[in-house]
Every structure is written in structure tokens, then in C-alpha cells.
Amino acid sequence: MRLNEDDLYRQSTQYKHWSFTPSDLTRLRQKTNAHAATQVKLHIAQDRVERAKLATLDVASAPESGADTPNGNGAGTGANTPVPGGAGDKGGEVDCLTTEEENMVVDKFCETAMKLGDFLKLQPDVTATAIQFMRRFYLYNSPMTYDGTKISKTAFFLALKLELGTRAGSASDFASRLPKTSRDDIVAPEYTIVQALRFNFEVRHPFRGLKGVHLELEDMIRGNYAVAHDGRTPAELRGEALQALEVAEEEEAATKLGNIYAHTKDILTMAAQLTDAYFLYTPSQILLAAHLLASPALTTFYLATKIPSSSPASTKILSTLQSCADLLSSHRSYSKNPAQHKLAWADGDPPATKKAMKKLRGCKDPTTQDLVALNAGKKRDVVRDGTLEEGKAKRRKLNRETAEKENDAFWGPELKKEG
Amino acid sequence: MSRVARAPGASTKRAVEDGGASHLSHSLRSLSIQHQSPSKPARAAADSASEICPVCKSSRYLNPNMRFLVNPECYHKMCESCVDRIFSHGPAPCPIAGCKKTLRKARFRMQTFEDLKVEREVDIRRRVAKAMNKEEADFETLRDYNDYLEEVEEITWNLILKIDVEQTERRLRRWEEAQKAELNPNAVRRSVDNGPDISTLSETSHVILKKGGTQRRVQGASLGNTPIPEDDTGFSFRGLKKRKAPEPEKAFDPTGGWSVEPLYYSVKEEYDHKFFAVKHEPKFYAFGYKAPEYYSHALRDAFGGLGVFLEDDRANEVIDFGTQAAAVAAGGGRDVEMNDVF
Ligand SMILES: [Zn+2]
Ligand SMILES: [Zn+2]
């Protein structure tokens, strides 16, 4: 009954529920996109009908616009709904985002989230967790359905709670640190997100193991590392490590190691977050791939002390690391050397992303834009679309009333509230 | 002498199963049978005798709440108030003429059986059964077990019929000591005859009066000096297995036998580095946080999943999670299949 580190990793929810092959990932995104597009088209059409009705009513009775819908749920009908149905809505066919455009939009959301984390001076762990929550969330939800700005705030709050525990502070505290944000804005999408995350809160970040790698590398440079599978002596390992670093002295090596560490960490906290690396590779592979980018010679040497280069596993691991490294270096945040101003690359957007963001404005699902009202409506059992939802609401109401009656019969009626 | 009824050639049968009466002697049985169907005059006579206290001659007729008590030393019956009166100030001799037993108040009790002979036999049987508590599994063969049962019955009858009482009683105690020592070899083995044991029921175990302290000391000394060989266990039975000490309990393993054996690294106790600067500050020990824990975590995070290839693993899985979930998503709720669980 012995487990190795791979067996342990296979027990994680990240492996079980959030790891995909590239084809699975694409298929999943296509499904989500197709589903969201149908919903968006349906809801925009419904919205137009309702709006037309209201417009005639408004003309007839009151001059005020943006009156509440009859069922008291203001979501999507008032002035808070963006473009569809508004002045710019020509009433034509809704042009929904494609899967590729969705990807770009989600990446943009994540970049914005990264800037938000930087702005709030949060630990890299918190930012990374929040971004991964968003990426996971948008696997099963479309950016057309849920707005990235709103989701990112709550994702940050969840990540804060996860990484800092009781030190995270309350939702109101967090809201006060953000511009134009109330506590309700933070809390409203919380359940939606947590459900989409399937209550899997653990994110295994590759940078967690970076210190482990450097513990061993420092050991090798000092000549203290004793465990090499091929019988190399500590002294030989030291020599090879120094050679890989292209230095002669231990002190120089330490400085160089520090640089490599910083560079790897940059790659892991930026490129790794903003690509699909977490979905496609294991944390260890991402970590070593980033290390490979930061210092090819040293990483190759280090891996050779772990896995005999003759073994078939070695080639497989190396090719996996290389493909992961290619993915990481393909991101525009990647630079050959650690940058001074780390988020400088994110100042301008590629034209395709700009186009997708613009397109998004025309195809947002009107029913899910006001998350606060939606959340409150859910609590009040007010659901606005479809007869099935109405039936559901009725049944739910009935159930609740019966439960309350039973409760009262057993515990006695609820006490009158003071004041 | 044996009262174990054994059909000829039935040695493979358990003696205790023979009619189920081997533990209850014939006399006991006949007595209880008599008791169940007594002739009327006999009963009337017994009743009238049991209504008057032999000590103070007071009658239940005058005092309906009167209770009669007996002491297992001599089984002489007397009323509760007599017991209170005579024995409240300590052990005293039995007031019945001709009985010289010393009795203690604490050991007086209500009799369970109407016939005092039965009462006494039950007491003796209980006492012997307590000492002789071997089971069939303790013996090599069934034959040995049956022989053992027969010997137990003989001991019982010796005590009941007052044959070799002194010696049987001593052997019994010797046997009990030996059993105790076998159960717990660490217990200090006391000398058996260091004074009368009041927990035993035999006629020999008598209580010595306070005023006879000197006598007691003399007696104790004389009894204590009786040379008893250390390996004397009172009885020895053929085919009795030596008691095996149970295996000592294994230390509790909270992981249930699982352990982590890393493929790619081995954690050292100590690393020379700058990262974990607080590693030797006592305030961190208070949490139970240790530097080796940190090292082990860091290295496990570094290599956990290095050899996991998603393409291979997912190909081997029968259920493809991604497509399955997406299928549910498409057919299910509005946005996520889990959006509305209620
Ligand atoms: Zn009396
Ligand atoms: Zn007496």
C-alpha cells in the first residue's frame, strides 16, 4: 500500500474534474458555446417581445421608462440592460460569439483579473486561484451569459477566503476595496460560481513546488545532494550543476539561481494562468516546463538526476514538458528575461480580442446581467422565463408553505420580530 | 466418587450434555423434586418451624415483618433483629447451641432456597465453578475435558459431603492463585495461606475474633510456615493446554497502512536555504509546524503528477468526463447543469 506522488495527484479534484485532453477541452467549450448561444437568442427574442409590449404600455399610460416587469423582477428589462433592445438594437439576427471569440474574451477577463489582483496588492496565490476559478467557471458558462467583471470580483473573494481563511475579511470589507462595488455585488454570484466549480475549491498551483525544486538545486550546488539514481557523486553533481549554470563559483550560482527562480515564478504567475496549461498539464509538468524556459540547461541536468535519460518515461516526460513550454512561451506575457514592469504586456489588446469584446456587447444574455436582482429573485421564488419555471416556482412555494406549516405545528409559530 | 452420569461407550459425548443434570447432584434434584410436590402435613410442619426464631423465640405470627437470615458459615437461621443485636458490634460466635462458628454481620443474607442444604450446595457449586472455569477448547481432547469435568464434580462433592474439606479447600485456592498468575504473570504472587480468606465459603475459613489477635498471629505464622512448593498449582489436569498470552496490540496506524513513497525525490531532514527563514523559531513549533513538513510538501508539489499523462489516462477511462458533463450541460439547466439544483 505504497503511493507515489503521481498517485497522490490522481486523488485531487484538479485531476479528476479539471484536467482535459485538448480535444475534450475543445468539445466542452463548443458545447457550452452552442448552449449559451441558443439561450442568448431565445432570451433576447423574449426580451424584445416584452420590451415592445412595455413600449406600447408606456406610450399609453406613463411616460417613465424602465418600469418593473409585472412579476417584480427588474432584471434585464430596465435601463440596466445593455445593447439588446436598446437604441443600438436593430432587431436583427443576434450575432453570438464563436468558441474562439469566447476564449479570447475569457482570456481578456483573466488579464483584467490579474490587473485587479495587482491593483489590490493581493498575494500571487490569491490572484492565481481567482483566475483559475474564472477559467473553470467559463468552461461550463459562456461569457455571453455571465459578465466577466462581476464574476471576477466574486472569484477573487472566493479565492481570498480559500487562501487566507479567516484573515480574508468579510464581503463588505472586500467590496469597500473595489470601486463602485457593494456587498451584494460580491455575494450575489457566489453560489452560481461555486456550483459551476462543483464545489471543488482546491487548485494545485505549479508554483507551490518551485521552492521544492530550488531546495534540491541549492543542495546540488553546495555538493550536499546525495540521491542520484545513476550513482553520480555529490561532487560530480555539483560540478555539472555549476557547468549548467555557466558559472564557476557557488556565490555566482546562488545569484543566478535566484534569477531563474524569479523568472520561473513570473512565467507561472502569468503565462501559466492565462493559458489552458492548468487544464492540459499537471502542476509538476507546468512547473518544470516553466523552469525549462527559464533555464534549459539547468532544468535538463536536473531532470536527468531524477529520471534516467535512457528510460522511455524520460522521452515522454521531456516531450510533454516541451509542449507545455511551447504553450507557455506562446503567450504574449512571456519574455525571455524577467521584466521590470510585469504587466506591461497587458496594456494593449490584440485587435482580435478588441473585436470580440465589442461583439460581446451585442450578444449578452439579458436574463443574467443583473445578478443581484437575479439572486434576490431566486430567493423570492420569482423566476421570469418559461412556463416550466413558473410551475417549478409554484411547486417550490407550495413545498415551502407546507414545510413552514409543519414547522409551526411542531415548534410553534415564529416569534414576532422586535421593532 | 463421581456423579457424572455417563452412558457406557459415550466418552466422545460431552459430559455436561448427559441429561443436563451432572452439575446438579442427585440429592439436589431429589430435594427440589420433593419441594415441588410436598405432602401437605410435611409442609405444614416445616412452615410452623420456620415461623419461630430459634434464638429469641419470637414468632412471625406476632411480627409479620420479621425476616429470617442465614450466614454461609453455618447456615443457622435467625431473625433479622437477632442478627442486629448480636453482630452489630463486630464478629461474634453463632448463638445456636453447639455451633462455634464466628459470624460477621455483613455476610448474613436472605436465603434463596427454602431448603438450606440446597442453599449450601448451590453456594459450594458456585464457588467451585468460579475456580474451575475451563472450557472444552482449553483441552487437547474431549476425553481430557470430560475427565476434568469429572474431577470438578468430585471436588464439589467432597466439599458438599465434607470429605477432606481442609485439603480440598487449600488445593482450590492454590489452583486459583496459579490461574491468576498465569493470566497476569506480572502480578506478585502472594503466599496463599496468609490468613483466612473471607471470600471463600468453606467451613475452614473462619473469622477470628478481635480479642483473639494473639491467637491469630500465632495461627497465621504457623500457616505461613507451611512449606508449599512454588510450582504446586493445587490440581493438574491431563491435556490442559498451556494458556497462550494474547499478542500485544500493535501500535495504531492512523493512515491505515498507506504510506507515500516518492518516485522522484527523497526529503532530507534539513536543507541549507534562505526561503523558509522562520524554520527554527519556536513560535512556529507551537502549531505543530515543522520544517521537514514544509520540505516534504514543497517537493511533493514539485513532482506530484510529473508522470501523469492526461492523454493516456483519459483514453483509458471508460467514461469521458468532459463530454459526459457537457452532454448533461446541453440537456440540463439554463447555463450550467448545476445551476439550479433545487
Ligand atoms: Zn430472633
Ligand atoms: Zn451456627
Residue A379: closest CA among chain B residues belongs to which residue?
A: B342
| Same domain for A335 and A307 | yes
First to last CA, chain B: 82
ipTM beyond cut 0.90: no
Is the per-residue pLDDT at B221 higher than 60? no
Same domain, A150 and A278: no
Domain boundary among A169, A196, A223: A196
A150 and A213, same domain (yes or no): no
The interface residues of chain B toward chain A in range 263-302, judged by CB-CB distance below 8 A, are 263-266, 268, 271-273, 275-276, 295, 297-302
Chain B nearest CA to A106, separation (Å): 16
pLDDT of residue A283: 95
Spatial CA neighbour of A203 closest among A151, A153, A162: A162
A273 occurs within a structural domain? yes
> Would you call A212 and B298 a contact, using CB atoms and an 8 Å cutoff?
yes
| Residue B65: per-residue pLDDT | 86
A390 is a domain residue: no
A192 and A210, same domain (yes or no)? no
Whole-angstrom CA distances from A414 to A399, A406, B141 are 18, 12, 74
What confidence tens digit (pLDDT) does each residue in B15-41 have? Answer: 444 444 444 455 555 544 444 444 444
How many Cα atoms within 13 Å fall on the side-chain side of residue A79? 3
Same domain, A212 and A341: yes
Residues of B in contact with A222 (CB under 8 A): 272
Summarize the confidence of residues A352-365 as an average pLDDT: 89
Q: Model confidence over A106-118: pLDDT tens digits?
A: 999 999 999 999 9
Show which of A196, A226, A259 is a domain's final residue.
Answer: A196
Asked whether residue A33 is assigned to any structural domain, the reply reads: no
Are B338 and A196 a contacting pair at CB < 8 A? yes
Could you say which of A153, A178, A196 is where a domain stops?
Answer: A196
* Phi-psi domain of B321 (left: phi exceeds 0; alpha: psi -120 through 50; beta: other): alpha
Using CB atoms and an 8 Å cut-off, which of residues 295-334 of chain B contact chain A? 295, 297-311, 313-315, 320-323, 325-327, 329-330, 334
The reported pLDDT for the residue numbered A230 is 72
Contacts of B253 in chain A (CB under 8 A): none
**A124 and A240: one domain?**
no
- Domain shared by A210 and A340, yes or no: yes
Instruction: Give domain status of residue A391, yes or no.
Output: no
Residues A302 and A177 in one domain: no
B154-188 pLDDT tens trace = 999 999 998 888 999 899 988 988 888 887 776 65
3-state secondary structure of A242: helix
Query: What's the rounded Cα separation, in Å, for the pair A140 and B31?
Result: 89
Q: Which domain holds residue A118?
A: 99-196
Work out the average pLDDT over A260-282. Answer: 93
In Å, the largest CA–CA distance within chain B is 106
Residue A218 lies in a domain: yes
Nearest CA in chain A to B301: A209
Q: Which residue spans within chain B are E strands per DSSP?
A: 68-69, 78-79, 92-93, 102-103, 259-260
Tens of pLDDT, residues A180-193? 899 989 998 999 89
In a domain, A17, yes or no: no
pLDDT digits (tens, 9 = 90+) for B300-336: 999 999 988 988 887 776 544 444 454 444 443 344 4
Rounded to an integer, the average pLDDT of A390-412 is 77
Asked whether the whole model's pTM tops 0.80, one would answer: no
- What is the rounded CA–CA span in Å between residue A381 and residue A362? 29
| The total number of structural domains that make up chain A | 2
CATH number of the domain residue A181 falls in: 1.10.472.10
Residues of B in contact with A228 (CB under 8 A): none
